[in-house]
Amino acid sequence: MRIRSAVSVGVLSAFGLGAGWAVIGPSAGAERAGEDENSTPHFNTASEMQAEYQEALGNPVLEMPPGVEIPAPSAVNGAEQSRSAGGADYSLYEGGFGEMAAANMWRCAWEVELLTAVEADDVPRVNSAAVQLHSFYDLPVAKANFVDPGELWYQEVVVSAVEGDQTQLRDEISINCSADLAAQAEARGLLD
Protein backbone atom coordinates (compact mmCIF):
# COMPACT_ATOMS: atom_id res chain seq x y z
CA MET A 1 0.00 0.00 0.00
CA ARG A 2 1.09 3.56 -0.55
CA ILE A 3 0.20 6.95 0.82
CA ARG A 4 -2.17 8.84 -1.45
CA SER A 5 -0.94 11.74 -3.49
CA ALA A 6 -0.73 15.13 -1.81
CA VAL A 7 -3.62 16.34 -3.95
CA SER A 8 -5.87 13.52 -2.70
CA VAL A 9 -4.85 14.03 0.91
CA GLY A 10 -5.46 17.78 0.69
CA VAL A 11 -8.85 17.40 -0.93
CA LEU A 12 -10.01 14.67 1.45
CA SER A 13 -8.77 16.55 4.48
CA ALA A 14 -11.11 19.37 3.51
CA PHE A 15 -13.89 17.00 4.56
CA GLY A 16 -12.55 16.45 8.03
CA LEU A 17 -10.70 13.29 8.75
CA GLY A 18 -11.36 13.59 12.48
CA ALA A 19 -9.02 12.76 15.31
CA GLY A 20 -6.66 9.91 14.58
CA TRP A 21 -7.59 9.34 10.95
CA ALA A 22 -4.92 8.58 8.39
CA VAL A 23 -5.37 8.47 4.64
CA ILE A 24 -3.75 5.35 3.25
CA GLY A 25 -4.18 2.68 0.63
CA PRO A 26 -4.41 2.47 -3.11
CA SER A 27 -6.15 5.23 -4.95
CA ALA A 28 -9.92 4.88 -5.01
CA GLY A 29 -9.85 5.05 -8.79
CA ALA A 30 -7.41 2.17 -9.08
CA GLU A 31 -9.36 0.08 -6.61
CA ARG A 32 -12.64 0.59 -8.47
CA ALA A 33 -11.15 -0.27 -11.81
CA GLY A 34 -9.53 -3.44 -10.44
CA GLU A 35 -6.09 -2.05 -11.17
CA ASP A 36 -3.09 -2.46 -8.93
CA GLU A 37 -1.95 0.17 -6.45
CA ASN A 38 0.74 1.49 -8.77
CA SER A 39 -1.65 2.40 -11.56
CA THR A 40 -2.65 5.94 -12.35
CA PRO A 41 -5.80 6.98 -10.48
CA HIS A 42 -8.96 7.81 -12.38
CA PHE A 43 -10.08 11.44 -12.23
CA ASN A 44 -13.60 12.82 -12.60
CA THR A 45 -14.84 16.21 -13.71
CA ALA A 46 -16.89 18.23 -11.24
CA SER A 47 -20.16 17.04 -12.79
CA GLU A 48 -19.00 13.39 -12.67
CA MET A 49 -17.99 13.83 -9.01
CA GLN A 50 -21.37 15.36 -8.24
CA ALA A 51 -23.13 12.44 -9.94
CA GLU A 52 -21.00 10.02 -7.88
CA TYR A 53 -21.99 11.96 -4.72
CA GLN A 54 -25.71 11.82 -5.59
CA GLU A 55 -25.50 8.12 -6.42
CA ALA A 56 -23.78 7.38 -3.10
CA LEU A 57 -26.41 9.36 -1.18
CA GLY A 58 -29.06 7.20 -2.86
CA ASN A 59 -27.56 4.08 -1.26
CA PRO A 60 -29.92 2.88 1.52
CA VAL A 61 -26.87 2.23 3.72
CA LEU A 62 -26.45 6.01 3.94
CA GLU A 63 -29.91 6.66 5.34
CA MET A 64 -29.97 10.13 6.82
CA PRO A 65 -31.43 11.02 10.21
CA PRO A 66 -34.81 12.74 10.18
CA GLY A 67 -34.83 16.52 9.84
CA VAL A 68 -31.33 16.94 8.41
CA GLU A 69 -31.10 18.69 5.07
CA ILE A 70 -28.20 17.42 2.99
CA PRO A 71 -26.36 20.08 0.97
CA ALA A 72 -26.53 19.98 -2.81
CA PRO A 73 -23.63 18.29 -4.61
CA SER A 74 -22.04 21.62 -5.53
CA ALA A 75 -21.42 22.16 -1.81
CA VAL A 76 -19.11 19.15 -1.55
CA ASN A 77 -16.11 20.31 -3.54
CA GLY A 78 -14.39 21.81 -0.49
CA ALA A 79 -12.70 24.59 -2.44
CA GLU A 80 -13.37 27.21 -5.05
CA GLN A 81 -13.83 25.65 -8.44
CA SER A 82 -11.24 26.62 -10.98
CA ARG A 83 -12.80 28.33 -13.94
CA SER A 84 -11.37 29.81 -17.07
CA ALA A 85 -12.26 33.28 -18.30
CA GLY A 86 -14.97 31.64 -20.40
CA GLY A 87 -16.52 29.98 -17.33
CA ALA A 88 -15.42 26.42 -18.12
CA ASP A 89 -14.83 24.28 -15.04
CA TYR A 90 -11.47 22.50 -15.07
CA SER A 91 -11.74 20.97 -11.58
CA LEU A 92 -10.72 17.33 -11.33
CA TYR A 93 -11.49 14.93 -8.50
CA GLU A 94 -9.95 11.53 -7.88
CA GLY A 95 -12.43 8.71 -8.50
CA GLY A 96 -14.23 7.92 -5.26
CA PHE A 97 -14.15 11.52 -4.02
CA GLY A 98 -17.92 11.95 -4.46
CA GLU A 99 -18.56 8.70 -2.60
CA MET A 100 -16.26 9.71 0.26
CA ALA A 101 -17.88 13.16 0.39
CA ALA A 102 -21.30 11.49 0.69
CA ALA A 103 -20.03 9.19 3.46
CA ASN A 104 -18.60 12.17 5.34
CA MET A 105 -21.84 14.12 4.86
CA TRP A 106 -23.71 11.11 6.27
CA ARG A 107 -21.31 10.92 9.23
CA CYS A 108 -21.75 14.61 9.93
CA ALA A 109 -25.54 14.37 9.69
CA TRP A 110 -25.51 11.61 12.31
CA GLU A 111 -23.14 13.67 14.48
CA VAL A 112 -25.71 16.49 14.41
CA GLU A 113 -28.42 13.93 15.27
CA LEU A 114 -26.32 12.62 18.17
CA LEU A 115 -25.78 16.11 19.56
CA THR A 116 -29.50 16.89 19.16
CA ALA A 117 -30.42 13.68 21.00
CA VAL A 118 -27.88 14.22 23.79
CA GLU A 119 -29.11 17.78 24.34
CA ALA A 120 -32.71 16.51 24.50
CA ASP A 121 -31.69 13.67 26.85
CA ASP A 122 -33.41 11.27 24.44
CA VAL A 123 -31.70 7.96 25.24
CA PRO A 124 -33.22 5.90 22.39
CA ARG A 125 -32.13 8.55 19.83
CA VAL A 126 -28.68 8.76 21.42
CA ASN A 127 -28.29 4.99 21.13
CA SER A 128 -29.57 4.96 17.54
CA ALA A 129 -27.19 7.75 16.49
CA ALA A 130 -24.23 6.07 18.24
CA VAL A 131 -24.94 2.79 16.42
CA GLN A 132 -25.22 4.61 13.08
CA LEU A 133 -21.94 6.45 13.69
CA HIS A 134 -20.11 3.26 14.60
CA SER A 135 -21.27 1.74 11.30
CA PHE A 136 -19.16 4.38 9.51
CA TYR A 137 -16.27 1.93 9.99
CA ASP A 138 -18.19 -0.67 7.95
CA LEU A 139 -18.65 1.50 4.87
CA PRO A 140 -16.51 0.14 2.02
CA VAL A 141 -15.22 3.62 1.16
CA ALA A 142 -14.10 4.16 4.78
CA LYS A 143 -12.46 0.72 4.91
CA ALA A 144 -10.58 1.50 1.70
CA ASN A 145 -9.38 4.96 2.65
CA PHE A 146 -8.94 5.33 6.41
CA VAL A 147 -7.27 3.72 9.38
CA ASP A 148 -8.39 4.61 12.86
CA PRO A 149 -6.36 2.60 15.36
CA GLY A 150 -8.45 1.68 18.37
CA GLU A 151 -11.44 3.51 16.88
CA LEU A 152 -10.04 6.74 18.29
CA TRP A 153 -12.55 8.99 16.48
CA TYR A 154 -15.49 7.00 17.86
CA GLN A 155 -14.07 6.95 21.39
CA GLU A 156 -13.07 10.63 21.53
CA VAL A 157 -16.06 12.09 19.70
CA VAL A 158 -19.04 9.74 20.05
CA VAL A 159 -18.44 7.92 23.34
CA SER A 160 -17.32 11.13 25.05
CA ALA A 161 -20.54 12.86 23.92
CA VAL A 162 -22.71 9.98 25.14
CA GLU A 163 -20.90 10.07 28.49
CA GLY A 164 -21.55 13.79 28.95
CA ASP A 165 -18.71 15.73 27.31
CA GLN A 166 -19.87 17.10 23.96
CA THR A 167 -16.81 19.33 23.42
CA GLN A 168 -15.17 17.09 20.80
CA LEU A 169 -18.50 16.47 19.05
CA ARG A 170 -19.22 20.21 18.81
CA ASP A 171 -15.70 20.82 17.51
CA GLU A 172 -16.06 17.99 14.99
CA ILE A 173 -19.30 19.48 13.62
CA SER A 174 -17.97 23.06 13.60
CA ILE A 175 -14.61 22.27 12.03
CA ASN A 176 -14.93 19.07 10.02
CA CYS A 177 -18.49 19.15 8.68
CA SER A 178 -19.89 21.19 5.82
CA ALA A 179 -20.79 24.80 6.56
CA ASP A 180 -24.41 23.94 5.70
CA LEU A 181 -24.66 21.18 8.32
CA ALA A 182 -22.81 23.26 10.90
CA ALA A 183 -25.28 26.11 10.23
CA GLN A 184 -28.19 23.71 10.79
CA ALA A 185 -26.67 22.67 14.13
CA GLU A 186 -26.04 26.33 15.01
CA ALA A 187 -29.67 27.21 14.16
CA ARG A 188 -30.80 24.51 16.61
CA GLY A 189 -28.63 26.09 19.31
CA LEU A 190 -26.36 23.04 19.45
CA LEU A 191 -22.98 24.72 18.97
CA ASP A 192 -23.20 27.34 21.73
DSSP three-state, residue 83? strand
DSSP three-state, residue 178? coil
What is the mean predicted confidence (pLDDT) over 124-142?
94
Distance (Å, rounded) from C-alpha 81 to C-alpha 153? 30
Asked if the model's pLDDT at residue 56 lies above 60, the reply is yes
What is the mean predicted confidence (pLDDT) over 28-34?
42
* Strand 92-94 versus strand 146-147 pairing type: unpaired
Residue-wise pLDDT tens digits, 134-147? 999 999 998 888 88
Give 41's pLDDT tier (boundaries 50, 70, 90): confident
CA angle, 153 as apex, 59 and 102 as ends, to 5°? 25
Residue-wise pLDDT tens digits, 143-188? 888 888 889 999 999 999 999 999 999 999 999 998 888 998 999 8
| Alpha helix stretches (DSSP H) within the chain | 6-13, 28-33, 46-57, 97-119, 123-134, 140-145, 152-153, 160-162, 167-171, 179-187
Give 129's pLDDT tier (boundaries 50, 70, 90): very high
Q: Is the pTM of this model over 0.75?
A: no
Asked if the model's pLDDT at residue 19 lies above 60, the reply is no
